[in-house]
Structure 1
Amino acid sequence: MRRLAPLVIAIAFYGLLIPLGLADIDHGPPGWVLPIVTAIGCALPLIVAHECGHLLAALALRLPVAGMRIRFSEASFVRVSPSPSAPALPVRFVLLHLAGPLTDAVLAIALFRYASHGEMPDLARSCVLTVALLSAVMGIGNLLPHRDRSGLHSDGARIGAWIVRPGQQRQALRRVTPNPMTPRVLDETITDADLDAYIDAAADLPHRAVAVFLRWRRTLGLVTGRTEAAVGNFTIGPATAADDEWLGTHVLGPGATPAMLDVIAPMLALIPGLGELHRVTVGGASADPAILARVDKVRRALANRPDNMQRRLVAALGDLLEGRAAQARRRLADVSPSADTGVTWALMLRAVAESTLGDHAQAGRLVDALRRAHAAADPAGDSDPPQVVTEILAALRAAVSPGAGLPAGQ
């Protein structure tokens, strides 16, 4: 009944039942055609009446209405979004889903009584009875538990689910009910306490990933537009270990969405990887195998995503950590200076590659070009490179053997 062709066929079938039942063959072709035409013409008003029954029930039961759709050839519905912890939800949802079929039944009974007791021509009675039959069939059909081809469950299936598995339905409601704190997570204005509560209550993986990612950056001291990218902000320590492990498992796992891979995944390599690059370059240590493995894991996770700046940044950082400065320079050679964040970090990594290969003058020119681009975009802003990059470049310029390069990965 939710697709155009099956709906028309069904209406035509029901429209034929009434003339057959009344043996209404004396009227000739009109006796057969008019009931069918009447049923087709009344199908949409019947659907409207059915959904209005749900709507009025939702308002009476104080269930917040999130949306309503009326279609002749597609699924029609009234969508509500109450709090999963609201009282008496099973009873209220059962009444909500009963309201539509009950409206169909009331209309069917009223039309049957009108056709039975009213004074009207036989042909008109046949048309009224056809519409009454169609309304009754719609009500009964919606009470039968099933799922249509668009994936929507019938009212009967919903009623059964709320009676038999109310706890599971509440849990499903938690997954689809908008959390009022989500906008504050997205604009990063949520307090730390509310952020912890949001993460604990989040059942949707993408929303939880965004929240954990924000807490991870806050713990590191890296929040967009608030803090300087200092050296200490790039070290994964005990305070960030749990969130780092969760992000590494879920954002880089099989359940990750494209948005999670494109936005969060690159930072899981770039933040600890840049801190490790500082430790290797300034401290003279060998690259940590765990950091190298993380960068490589992110690189492989992004392998099937469209080629973009974040993907190139992760690959170039891995090259620098593993002593392949020339390859890192080639990856970023065509990037032109601008104030864009991705471009900025690309040229900073390229400056590190140039300086690693001994061309400190070219590294200086890249840094100066970035300063000019940022000054042009925001004259009042800070156009100097982050401290972590400044210290890496200074250590490379001060190296006894400028062309020695970075230690190879273990």
Structure 2
Amino acid sequence: MRILSSLFTVAIMLVVSYPVGPHPSTLFAVLCCLLAGVFIHVYVHELGHLCAALLVRFRVIEVSIRAGRNRSGVRIAGVKVRLGLFGRVDQVRVVTPPDGRAVPARWIAFSFAGPASNLALAAATYLVFHGHAERLLSDDPALAHSYLVAAIAPGAMLGLANLIPFRVRDGQPSDGGWIFAWIFRPGRSRAQVTRRIRLTDGVSTPTDLDELRARVDAGGPDAILASGALLAQSIRARQLAVDADRLLVVARNPSTDPNLASLIASAIAETRAIELMNDTIRFRQWDFDQARVKPIVEVAELGYARDPERAEARMSLALARVLSKRPAEARDLLIRLNTTTVDSRVQVQALAARAIAELQLGDLAQARRVVNSAGRIDPKVGLLPLARTLVERAEQRAAASAGGTPSAPEPRTDVATSGTATESTA
């Protein structure tokens, strides 16, 4: 499809430049006009989908326009935004509302909005500049005509091409394919969307774990979504250790969405880091087995590299830095973490990790303040019981060395557990 589009663009360039002759300067000017039109219309196409999604009340989870596959992007009001110029990812990802009313009509409107935006802009360009172009280039009306056609052609090409029913490179239907399916096969289309949303949200029952593993191993259009569901279900069933290697293959794949790759790697790194901490600190030791630390660091760095702004990625990398005896770096990662946009579990885990880093740095008072802050959010989440135990042990040692009596109770034997929330990747 990309090769055909390129050939079609060259053909348009030759056609619109023919009236004025194939002079190099003319060809260059027409090519610049065409390229500018292509970039503009790609953005207009996706923005048309975005506006339609908001109008029909779909929940938007990602907007990617000309973005590279490894581009992390930013989060705006809970929406992943990735913008670029020369990337290959163009999509507006949505989830249908739970009421399910008029779903076919909503999907048809959402699918049609992109091509319609291109055709509308192309028509508006013609109506506005049809007379002005010849007046601006009155001494060369043929050149004016060529510029006008070059400005209109990308929108017409993109709009009409997307209305043709076909499958794009990731195996999903084009806009025209979705429109055709929703009009003539609404039941099948509803089932396909429902399956993808079910996989995205990870709401499959625990008995479907083998099915999800088979989908991940088989590859295909649903493999990435199945990976997100498998991650969620493995955590709920406490079987992440069983599926970790299978999921890491997906996370390391360059074609995997950076959002999902970061989520998978961060969850696995967090789980393994907490397991190692429990195995070591329960025996009142701080000397972590560096042979076990090294693979944890590698996975945590993978999650951070795929999405540096993800809170879970920063938190898991901070835990890896604590295990590597680099607490200053761990604290810096967590201090710069914006916890206002994440759920309470991630907030508590991040604060608990920071408390442990503060202990390694010798700042007992700050560690106690951080633990207290985390306890006010949720006193029993994940890493917090272990962090609280470590702070109490340090306070007892400090009181004993000062000649006082320990004010804290006997150290608990609480063992931290991990659980990473997943987000929609539909």
TM-score bucket of the superposed structures, by smaller chain = 0.3 to 0.5
Greater RCO structure (CA 8 Å; 6+ sep) = 2
> What TM-score do you get using the length of structure 2 for normalisation?
0.44
Find the structure with the greater CA-based Rg. 1
> What TM-score do you get using the length of structure 1 for normalisation?
0.45
